[in-house]
Every structure is written in structure tokens, then in C-alpha cells.
Amino acid sequence: MLQRRPHRSASYSAVSMWTLMAADLMAVIWMYTFGPWLDQSSRLTATATLGGHHWIVLAFAATGFLMLAGLALLTEGFTKTTTKLTLATNAARVVSVVALAGLIAFVLVALLARVVFGKLRP
């Protein structure tokens, strides 16, 4: 006897786009709030702002968020698409990943330092 699988309401791609949109919004808030401190605190924290340029990261994250928000409306929540909308979605992904690249690198370096050096406090 054949049984039907339940239909997923959101595909993996749509969920990843919503997650990327939330990450962009988080980056905008962090860069606005802590950007100058991240730029000037140390070379390690400047990694999160792509070498001390928090306004550029903020602009990329805001642009990526706005592009994805507009595309969410046009694609009915990233569920329907055309060739032009797919190209626009891919462009928005690239802008978002560029904005988040510094934050991702900072987190990875911090985790690697924790693994290699262990506790840094006595």
C-alpha cells in the first residue's frame, strides 16, 4: 500500500532565505551599535567589520535585507519564482554573504582560538 508523504509547507531554500534575511537584520543592528568599537578595539575584532569598515558592512547588510524583503513579496515567501527573480535572489544572496563574511570569519577565529589555546583566563 502506497502512502503519501506529508507536504512540507516551506522548502529548504525558502527557510535558508528567511534565515539569511534575519542574519542581515542582525548584522545591521550589530554594526550600527558596536561597529565603531569593533573597528578600533583590535585587529581581531576589526575582522568582523572587514578590516575596520563597519559602515560598508552596514550598507551591504541593509541592502541585502531590503533586496530579500522585496523578493519575499514578489516570490510569495520564496516559494514561486521566474528566471529574473532567481537571478535577483542570487544577487541578494551574494550581497548578504559579503556583509556576513567578516562576522563569520570572526566567529570561526574565536572558536579556533578557544580550541587551540583553551581557557585564556586563569
- Give 108-117 pLDDT, tens digit per residue: 888 888 888 8
Residues 65 and 21 sit within 8 Å (Cβ to Cβ)? yes
Query: With pLDDT > 90 as the criterion, what percentage of the chain qualifies?
Result: 52
Q: Give burial (CB, 10 Å; 0-12/13-18/19+) of 102.
A: buried
Q: What is the C-alpha end-to-end distance of the chain, expressed in Å?
A: 64
4 vs 68, higher pLDDT = 68
- Using the predicted structure, report yes or no on whether residue 40 has a pLDDT greater than 70: yes
Query: With pLDDT > 70 as the criterion, what percentage of the chain qualifies?
Result: 89
Q: How far apart are CA 24 and CA 18, in angstroms?
A: 10
User: Which H or E element spans position 118?
Assistant: none
pLDDT value at residue 7: 45
